[in-house]
Amino acid sequence: MKLFRILLTAALVLAATTEVSAEITFRRAPQYSQDTVTNSKYYLVCITDPGNLAAIGGQQVKVYKTGAFGRQLTLKEGDNRIEITLFKGTQVETREVNIHYRPTLGLVSRPAPEPRLEERLFYVETKENAYLQYGSGGDRLGGSKMGFLDPGIVLKVTGAIDDLYQVQLSGNRFAYIHQEDVEMTPRSYRIVNTGSIGISNSGDTDRIRLSLPLRLPYASRTALDPTTIIVDVFGAMNNSNWITQYHELGMVDYLDVQQVESDVLRLVIKLKDKYCWGYSVHYDDNSLVVEVKHTPKDLSLKGLTIGLDAGHGGELPGAISVTGLKESDVNLSIVREIEKILKKKGAKVVLSRSEDINLTMPQRKKIFLDNRIDLLVSIHNNAGGSPLSAMGASTYFKHITNRDLTATLLRHMLELNVPNYGLTGNFNFSLNAPTEYPNALVECLFMSSLPDEEILADPANHRKIAEKVVAGLEDYLNQVAESKGLVTKKKSKK
């Protein structure tokens, strides 16, 4: 029986930087015992049976509990013949691979394409799940999202790039929308006067209602200090001469209406609390409605509904480790452990998936919205960088009001004594986009890192990760309670 299987991996680096930038690909030997690369920095990663000793290029390397091992090499131009040797007792087995290094002249930057102007003016109407992008660019996460729109909103098309329409929101503002998310319409876009504005307490939310003669495009964002929700309505002229406030509001301190441009009306919604618990913007007939959720009365896990998303699944397994560990399986295992802990603490838990299936992002969001969750955590595991280094944990948010939640989760993840891979904001991940509830993405560790993979390969560590996620949620709830001058049940025991 052969002692080992060899896998090769090349991690390329941009000129003038040491940061790994290319995605790692794995190839089997001996069919791929020759490799051609365009950068002198190269990672050779192999697999053997755990317990064997290994050397690459005459230098002994660590063999992880998974059987994975590797070494970073600096290549010379042309052929580089590398010997891989395994030792088990008195047995020795040797393989050789040849890595051919052919330098390139580097990357050539190209300017962003200009939109193709349409020969005729026409209008489109939004479908379900349509969203605006700030620009025409994109990456693996798509273009930078400006916000989702209700169906039935008319937009004026002024140009096109690939599968995107350029649309005019106001005299000075443009955005982009996917052509598949709209349909042609005989209706036209026009600037209109606004009607009455009212604010009322509907029980779980404060509801702001702006009367309009037709559905206009809009965009929203949040701000801190003071905590504020800002909604821009494009194509609206202020004819709302009073704002009526009904009953005592639970979350909104006051509303200000500003005409920031001749055809852009801005709603500035100042909140009473430091922490925003979510809001939605949607149409009820032709009235634009902003619903601001109240902070839960009991700021402990008991009684809250927590959404948990296990990333990937089914035919989209996500990252696959050197030894064949699938990210989708690891994500679901960690989510299951989080679910057990949360239920034991009295929380209701809603999962996007409970088995190895793939769901689209709209399907996942619908599950959480339909179940009216109070908070969401999406669990993933990362890939990239050096396979020989421990890469660590990171957390991500889109909206600035979710920064504290995300930072708190990261702080507890680092208690696992793993490296800090960073706190990332304005992240374009689809499940970070909803504004209806606080949310965070946790990238627990790296599937592509041999040290991280060793941790993830042990199911006992999934429980440890889950405990840190739950501790982060409890810590965040305590922060919210303290900001309101309250003490949670957990704090009262101290």
CA 59, 60, 62 angle in degrees (round to 5)? 135
> What are phi and psi for residue 333, nearest 5 degrees?
-60, -45
Q: Tens of pLDDT along 164-178?
A: 999 999 999 999 999
**Strand ranges inside 58-149, DSSP E:** 59-61, 68-74, 78-88, 91-101, 116-126, 131-133, 145-148
Residue 237 has pLDDT above 50, yes or no: yes
**Residue 10, token pair as written in the block:** 């090349």
> Is 428 strand, coil or helix?
coil
Q: What pLDDT, on the 0 to 100 scale, is given for residue 49? A: 87
Distance CA 207, CA 213 (A): 19
Q: Are the beta carbons of 269 and 231 closer than 8 angstroms?
A: yes
C-alpha 166, offset from chain centre = 25
Q: Tens of pLDDT along 366-401?
A: 999 999 999 999 999 999 999 999 999 999 999 999
Q: What pLDDT, on the 0 to 100 scale, is given for residue 190? A: 87
Distance CA 99, CA 42 (A): 9
Q: Which pLDDT band, with edges at 50, 70 and 90, does 34 fall under?
A: low
**Mean pLDDT, the chain, whole residue set:** 89
C-alpha 435, offset from chain centre = 13
Q: What pLDDT, on the 0 to 100 scale, is given for residue 14? A: 26
Domains of the chain (ranges, CATH numbers): 4-101 (2.60.40.10), 116-185 (2.30.30.40), 192-293 (2.60.40.3500), 305-480 (3.40.630.40)
Residue 415 has pLDDT above 90, yes or no: yes
- What DSSP designation does 388 have? T
CA 212, 215, 218 angle in degrees (round to 5)? 100
Contacts of 342 (CB under 8 A, 6+ apart): 301, 306, 308, 349, 470
What ranges in 401-458 are assigned the alpha helix state H? 403-413, 450-456
Rounded percentage of the chain residues whose pLDDT exceeds 90 = 78
